[in-house]
Amino acid sequence: GSYARLDGLARALGGLADRVPGGGVLRGAEVVLSAHRSAYEQECLLFLEDLRNHLDHGHA
């Protein structure tokens, strides 16, 4: 499954939850992401803009 789809992300998070200590908290995180997707997208866009500005000013 693809991470681009919610069901693929759920499978990936479930697999990770099985492999890492305390990973159980990851189960169901895709539901939270779906409910707050626009806020996550905005945060990601702001982060990428900050990163580009940082790199453009020679801070690589």
Tens digits of residue pLDDT in 9-51: 999 999 999 999 999 999 999 999 999 999 999 999 999 999 9
Answer yes or no: is pLDDT of 58 > 90: no
Identify the pLDDT of residue 17: 96
Task: Give CA 5 to chain center in angstroms.
Answer: 12
Cα angle, residue 56 at apex, residues 55 and 60 outer, rounded to 5°: 30
CA-based nearest residue to 32, from 2, 4, 10? 10
Distance CA 30, CA 6 (A): 6
Answer yes or no: is pLDDT of 1 > 70: no
